[in-house]
Amino acid sequence: MDIREQIRNFIASNLVIYEDNAKFGDDDDIFKAGFVDSMFALKLVQYVEKEHSLRVENDDLQLANFNSVANIAKFIARKKAG
Amino acid sequence: MSPPPSRWVASHQTRPDARLRLFCLPYAGGSSMIYRNWSKTLSADIEVCPVELPGRWMRMREPLHTDTATLVPAIMDGLLPLMDRPFAIFGHSLGALLAFELARECRRRQVRAPSRLYVSGRRAPHLYPVAVHGSFLHLDDNGLVDAMNRRYPGGFAPEVLADAELLSVVLPILRADMVMFEGYKFREEDPLDVPIVALGGANDDATPVADLEDWRRHSSKNLDLRTFDGHHFFLHTCEAALLEWLATDLKST
């Protein structure tokens, strides 16, 4: 499973509004679309840290790093490249 | 030109043509996410700006504040660039206290005053917050969760209670906020030249509707009272009715 698919699955399993037909693209803003609940932010950061063995620092906590599947994948790749 | 993005309102939907900004302050333990449905429900001429306090969500690695005397000036610094057009302030519970003190801070700094102040789920600030129920600060984690659930039913999402790791992240935020809430020191000042609307849940034992009337002394303009069905968290359980009412109220703001 590639990294985007993993992230998509994680987000899908934590959606507040989940209809069978609800689709979000890799570039859709998951926060603006109102897909997620208030705990999602914490869970997302925990997920990224645990699954990918990296540390999310204060400076990393920008919406632009976390607001879409594509951006999360890019962020993880960047952190791993160190 | 729109101001640069701020960590204080990181996740909001900007609306360059809005006639009014609505700054929304969270309750104890809450983040900007508690207001996530507001922007798409309120009309397009309102820019909803949920305020992100240090220590939560995108600011989760920043130190938590425990004193309104330091937090409120910091909020003011963060929001000042967004006070270039008319604004109202909304706060629930601890957020109502912060909203009130923020309105006072505007006066101290002689900047634009809020057009309206919405204080929700909070007794008037000159009334001691824990007189009726006693302090929570000495409680251990289980005791704190139990006490919160009794006084403010529905505050914890069931998934948080079921997840020790999530709870271990949430509780320090809640504790710091409770230190701030219980340690708040009211100082006598002239009433604000701002209309105040006090909102409450009809069955909120922590915030009796009768105590909302006490906000009156804090406005030289007008106090409106509005109650909704529900307990302390009517903000969530009665969200649709609240937003419908607020949309109408903001039209005259």
**Mean pLDDT in residue range B190-197:** 98
What is the rounded end-to-end Cα distance, in angstroms, of chain B? 24
Just list the catalytic residues of B.
Answer: 93
Residues of chain A with pLDDT under 50: none
Q: How far is B139 from chain A (nearest CA, A)?
A: 24
Q: Please state the ipTM of this predicted complex.
A: 0.76
Query: What confidence score (pLDDT) does residue B163 get?
Result: 86
Nearest to B167 by CA among B142, B149, B190: B142
Percent of chain B whose predicted confidence (pLDDT) is above 70? 96
Nearest Cα of chain B lies from the Cα of A24 at a distance, in angstroms, of 18
Q: How many Cα atoms occupy the beta-carbon half-sphere of B226 within 13 Å?
A: 19
Does position B154 have pLDDT exceeding 50, yes or no?
yes
Residue B2: pLDDT band with limits 50, 70, 90? very low
Tell me which of B6, B32, B33, B39 to substitute to probe the interface with A (most A C-beta atoms closer than 10 Å). Answer: B33
Q: Which of B9, B48, B61 to mutate to test the interface with A (most CBs of A within 10 A)?
A: B61
Inter-chain residue contact B33 with A46, CB threshold 8 Å: no
Q: Residue B225 in contact with residue B124, Cβ under 8 Å?
A: no
pLDDT confidence band for B101 (50 / 70 / 90): very high
Q: pLDDT, tens digit, for every residue of B224-244?
A: 999 999 999 999 999 999 999
- pLDDT of B99 > 70? The answer is yes
Interface list for chain A against chain B, based on CB atoms closer than 8 Å: 31-32, 34, 36-43, 45-46, 56-58, 61-63, 66
pTM score of the predicted model: 0.91
